[in-house]
Structure formats: structure tokens, C-alpha cells
Structure 1
Amino acid sequence: MTNSHSPTHASRPKAASEDACLDQQIQHLLVAVEHEIRSAPAGMNELSLIKALQKPPWELLGDVVFSEPEKLYPVHFLLFHVLYRLRDQLSEASESLKISPLNIRIEAETVVSGEGVPNSVDTLRHFYLDLSQYRLPEEAIRQMMNHFWAGTPGQAPAQSETREAAEALGFKTIPTDFPTVKKRFRRAVMHAHPDRGGRTETIQQLNQAFAVLKAHFRHSL
């Protein structure tokens, strides 16, 4: 006969309680995220949205350690889970939600252009809507970080996302070669370093832009 106080039985109520808390947080985030995005018609990047959700009246996200991938990942995943759920809801009202770490915004629904890659988008949606991906081992998270911000390994970023990444690094147009990107990235990170009065969040945003451009040139070869 199994002991009712064994770790297996004890873990079940705890897991159920954690799932209930997570579901409640997601419901609150759905409301807060839609409000914040509608308040920024031109769109906002992921880091700005995270910071908005940390502040009153929401206070739905705690402190985020942007320099530690294993601590940043759960926040990123949860936010994108909410964004993909919100996108599904908005489509019923003939609105579309653009989801990118560099620019998140609500638009009137239009015919899909040839810019995106539908199968890749579906792959991302499937990944972020699968809550089992929320709790990953630390090693798995670290392996993902090389292509974390630019989507799945086999996916080329959309042209609009590549342009936004180039602008984030100070380019007026998409650069023609990757060495130019690396040189600009190193210079930007040097100026944004906390030792020079910069912020870790700024460096993370530069990392996002660099990852998108790196994926762009990898698929251009």
C-alpha cells in the first residue's frame, strides 16, 4: 500500500496549486498586456512591455535578471504565451497582433503578405502555447539562447523584424554584410555598458537586435 505522505502524493497538490496560480497570473496578464499594447499604437519592444508589467497598477512580474538566461527565460516564455493567446482572441475581432521581441503591436487584420513564413509562425505558436515548455532544465535553456530572440533555428526573421533590428543598432537600412553588424554591435555594447552609466536592459535589447541580424545573414548565405 502506498504511503499517502510519500513525495509522489505530496507533490501532486503542490503541482496543482502551482498550476492554478500560473493560470491566474496568465488571466491577469492577458488584460494587462492588451491594455499596454493598445496604449502604444506604434508598438513597444519586449523589454518595455516587461517593465510596464512590473510597475503599478499591474505589478504582475517581479524582478527580472536580464543578464541570467535561466532567470529571464520563464518571464519571456510566459509573456509570449500570453501574446499568442491574445493574438488568437484578437483575430476573432478582425485584429492582428504583431509579435516580435523588437516590436509588439495591434493592427487591423489584413491579408497576409509574402513577408512572413506561415509554417514557422505556427511552429512558434505551438511552442509558446505549450505550457510544459515553461519549466525547462537550466541546460536546455542555455542551449536555446543562441537563437532565443530570433525564433526557431530554421526560421529566417521577417523582413520587417530585420529592419527593426538594424534600426536598433543605429543603421538606417539593413546592412549588406555581417562584419559591419558585428563592429556596430560591439561599439554599441561598449557605450551601453553599466560601467559607463548604461543599463543591462539596453544591452539585452542590443543582444536581441544582433541575434535577429545574425539569423538574417545565416539564412542569406
Structure 2
Amino acid sequence: MHIMTDSSITSLDKDKARHQWLEQQVQHLLIATEHELRARGPLGLSELDLIRALQGERWQLLGEVNFTEPDQLYPVHFLLFHTLYRLRDQLAETNETLLISPLRLTLLPVAQRPETTLPASEDKLRAFYLDLSQYFMSNGDIQDMMDNFWAGLPPERPDMDDAALAAETLGFEALPETFTAVKQGFRRQIMRAHPDRGGSTEEVQKLNEAFSVLKAHYA
């Protein structure tokens, strides 16, 4: 029989306290996120817009984020998407659904839900984000995940609406014919948005998100 030591009890207490704190945060985020989504209506908002709203004076639920540092961005991104998937499950009970992607978060009646979703990939993403233990991923694991992505392991192919929105974010009027054109447009926009030229790290993050969507689209 395993005997519990003082140190193991302390460790369990700390884990319990951390998860209780996280759950409390999620409950606040569920209320605020649903409010913001309903306020935006069918146009929805981006992940970045939602982060800004939750940082704002009304809610003050998120602190400042350095969008260029993955180890600082990941906990905020994860907690937000955990909340979004929880909210989507709740909304299903009222015949509503939530379209989830970094570039567009939209609350819709179930009847208006597009038929282009990929159940297998959705299940994997949902399982990942609903596992709160993933919030505590180490900096090394976060970096490995980022390295795997840039090495050519992007998420599943986005739908055409998300791809078109990403192209618009990078300054295109329509989807370019080649990924080479996307990379050229991305470089131009990144140079323009650099903080040294009057841009901001938030704008750079939005461009990075758009580029990642198009990278998956052309993969």
C-alpha cells in the first residue's frame, strides 16, 4: 500500500488549488466571452479582438501579453480556447453553435452551421483544449509544439471562409494562386506592422495567425 507523505500531500494540495483557481477563471471567462460574442452578432470577432476585450476595463480578466513570446501567449490562448469549447458544448443545449478559429469566433443558430467541418480534427482539438492539464505545459514542450508546426505540421485545412479572411488580413483582395505569393505578401505586411515602424506586437500576432491559416490551406 502506498503511504502518503507530507510532501506528496502538499503537492496534491497545490495541484488541487491550481485547478480550482483555473476553474474559477474559466467560469468568469464563460460569462464574459458569451457576452462579447453576442454583442458582435453574426460578424463575430477574432481571437485577438476577444483577448483585447477580456483585458479591457469592463472585464479585466486577462493581463498584458507579449505576443512575440510563445511561453507567455500559450497559457492565454489555451485558457481562452478551453473556455470556447466549454461554451460551445453549453450552447448546443439551446440549439446554438460556436464557430471556432483564431481569425473568427462566431455564435450562430445550429441551422446556419456550415457543413464543411471536419469531425475527426474537431474531436482532437476539443479533447486537447478541454484537458486543463495542458495549461501547465512546460516551456520546452510549448517550444517543441511550435517547432513541429513550423516544420510542416500545421492544423487541418481551414474552410474557404477562414482562408479568404486570412488573405484579406494579409492585404489580398482574393485568395492568391500560390503560397509563394502569400509569403511575399506576409513579409510586406510584417515589415509595415513592425513596432519600429509604428506598428504593434498585436498587429504582428494577427498577421502570424493569418499566415498560419493560409499555410494550412496551401499544404
TM-score by length of 1: 0.91
Aligned to 2:22: 22
Letter in structure 2 aligned against 1:120:
S
Contact conserved, 1:147 with 1:211, CA < 8 A, in 2?
A: no
Cα offset for 1:139? Answer: 1.8
Q: 1:73 to 1:154 in 2, by over 3 A?
A: closer
1:178 and 2:179 aligned: yes
Contact conserved, 2:154 with 2:212, CA < 8 A, in 1?
A: no
RMSD: 2.0
Distance in 2 (alpha carbons) for counterparts of 1:86 and 1:10: 33
Residues 52-201 of structure 1 mapped to structure 2, 5 A cutoff? 52-110=53-111, 113-145=114-146, 153=154, 155-201=156-202
Cα offset for 1:11? Answer: 1.7
Cα offset for 1:136? Answer: 0.8
Q: Secondary structure at the match of 1:50?
A: helix
Cα offset for 1:148? Answer: 6.3
Cα offset for 1:10? Answer: 1.8
Q: Secondary structure at the match of 1:97?
A: strand
Cα offset for 1:65? Answer: 1.3
Distance in 1 (alpha carbons) for counterparts of 2:148 and 2:198: 28
Higher helix share: 2
Cα offset for 1:114? Answer: 4.1
Q: 1:111 to 1:54 in 2, by over 3 A?
A: closer
Q: More deviation in 97-106 or 56-65?
A: 56-65
TM-score by length of 2: 0.91
**TM-superposition CA deviations, 1:69-107 (whole Å, max 9, x none):** 011001000000000010111111111111111011111
Aligned to 1:40: 40
Letter in structure 2 aligned against 1:127:
F
Distance in 2 (alpha carbons) for counterparts of 1:115 and 1:105: 15
Q: Secondary structure at the match of 2:11?
A: helix
Distance in 2 (alpha carbons) for counterparts of 1:3 and 1:120: 40
Equivalent pairs counted in the alignment come to 215
Contact conserved, 1:189 with 1:203, CA < 8 A, in 2?
A: yes
* Structure 2, unpaired ranges of 5+: none
* Structure 1, unpaired ranges of 5+: none
Contact conserved, 1:169 with 1:206, CA < 8 A, in 2?
A: yes
Q: 1:153 to 1:189 in 2, by over 3 A?
A: closer
Cα offset for 1:167? Answer: 1.0
Percent of aligned pairs sharing the same letter: 51
Distance in 2 (alpha carbons) for counterparts of 1:190 and 1:9: 52
